[in-house]
Structure 1
Amino acid sequence: MNKLNPMARVECSNWPDVCGLNNVTMYPTLKIFKASVQTKDYLGRLDEANVLKSYFFQEVISSVIIGIFSDSMNADAIIFEEVSKHLAGSFLLGICIQECSNEALKTFGVKHSTIITVKWEDPYQPFVTFDGAFNKPTILSFLNKSSQQILPELNPASLPSLLGNSESIVMFFHQQDHPSKYAEIELAKVAARKQFDTTPITWVDASDKGHLGRKILSSYSLPVEGNIPQVVFLNRKTNAVCWYPHTPQFSESLLTDWLDATLTGRERSCADEVDTQENNGRFANLAEKDLIHRNDLVQKSCKMPSEVKDAKTWIRTRV
């Protein structure tokens, strides 16, 4: 099995231990794995089109948006269908009515027609329920936000969508150890709070010296060794950097209080504001040296326009 041919065949008479560990009791059996972890048993028709459709659905699509309504002529259902047409190709959307609707309402524990975003790759927020007014702008905003992981990775590809019009961002620097995992769980609880909806809370890999996370920490003059995991808040307007002062004590309550104090200007763990005209801002420098440069190498999607001679000016207008 390889990336070009992501299918493998196991002859159970030759590999009884493998088949036993995977609970194979009938033949043929198709199982779908992702990152070496089984996601589901394939129970559909054994023809090429349906097998490939199921594989593509599991491998490529990370979320699905379901509209749950009593019938297709419901006023809310009509609005949802209009939004679906507008977003065709950007999201995987489906509508659930009548018997399907009753079953879905019980499954997700809701009592009325609604929209649900299901995210099977997000362990901290497997689904999100829409509770706003049924109009096009509100639904579009919900779909864009709810389809993202509650604690997404900050990398060259995700940078533009995560920042958007946000005035601030939180970066969680972690490595592969138990303290980082515990801190991640607590921070995910904070990220799920609606009070911080406008501030993206992200994670950055800082496992090794060559990883982007360590370079970012160094650019903020923060000590790296012995200080990971670490949480940093960045104000994009003032370029002030605030670091979580209670490391290594991470709890939902401490993180919530710190972030609330930081957003309201009461936190004292912040570096002085940076003169954005003179220094071009810490985040702009970071984007120029690391994120945008790396994105250009990997995806060739951030080429500097030839008509703009001052690269720093170009970056500042977009970050």
Structure 2
Amino acid sequence: MEKNVSPLQYSRELIFKSGYIPMMVEEIEVREDVEAHSHQFMEIAIITEGTGFHFSSMGRQQIVVGDVFVLRPGAWHSFQDCRDLKVYNCCFGAELLLQELAWVRQIPGINYLLWRGPLNSQAPGILKFTLSKSAIEYCREYLSKIEGILSAKPEQQKAALLGLLLVVLSELSTRANIESLADDLDQASAIPDVVLKGANMLEADVARDWTLLELAELLHLNPAYFVRLFKKHTGLSPIAYLNHQRAERAANLLVETQKSIAEIAREVGWADQNYFARCFKSHYGMSGKVYRARYSHR
């Protein structure tokens, strides 16, 4: 992270106001710079009008209509020098991807959109691509429907909200820039159940002292074969994938609790504080202590 950047963190309580389903959708007009901020949830930002610059760990990039930014929990960004800029924001709790929508990981395009792409990009946690004009309008139509339900009676239409979100995710995954995503989609075209099961096992118990041998035995596979298979379909080795999940979990605990860094390290499976510090910094560009100091008072 740039030394002069000290992002805010947008909390779940600030964004998810319905109290029923962790989802927020709105189109906003950006009249001035948006200060650097990170999130405790998934965010998809679609540029629908205007121009400006997007600043993140990817650097400062000029944005155009149709640009889409997918950000996983903990990733930070900002908008600068905006002119007539409109952004459709779609935010939702990552827990939906472990519960109601856990099965969407089996869909190659959505797997790339929400997992493989942002986890393997040059800026960890961020994926960028550009939509066509027709795709923008298509997504806008369904995002508007979600926005309408959320502002009315979301507690009565959970199925509708999840269904509409899936329509948007499907459109984004199929309309993304084919040239830049083609190789990854080809590799992930048939995601074996054993890879999905392995990823789910790691996410469900990040604190466990996992070893490749143990995980492979539970899945009844040769360790070397499992590593090759897992990396082919996720872009990461099982341990690298586990470390990313631990970093996301630790980032949330640093902000949401008063637990010591040593306690958090143990809770997410990094009992060695030095190892915790190295891994956390490799994901977020700062130590856990600095991350908490910058975000926890917001």
TM band (smaller chain)? under 0.3
Normalising by structure 1, what TM-score?
0.22
Q: Which has the larger radius of gyration?
A: 1
Normalising by structure 2, what TM-score?
0.23
Greater relative contact order, per chain length (Cα 8 Å cut-off, separation 6+): 2
Q: Which has a greater percent of strand?
A: 2
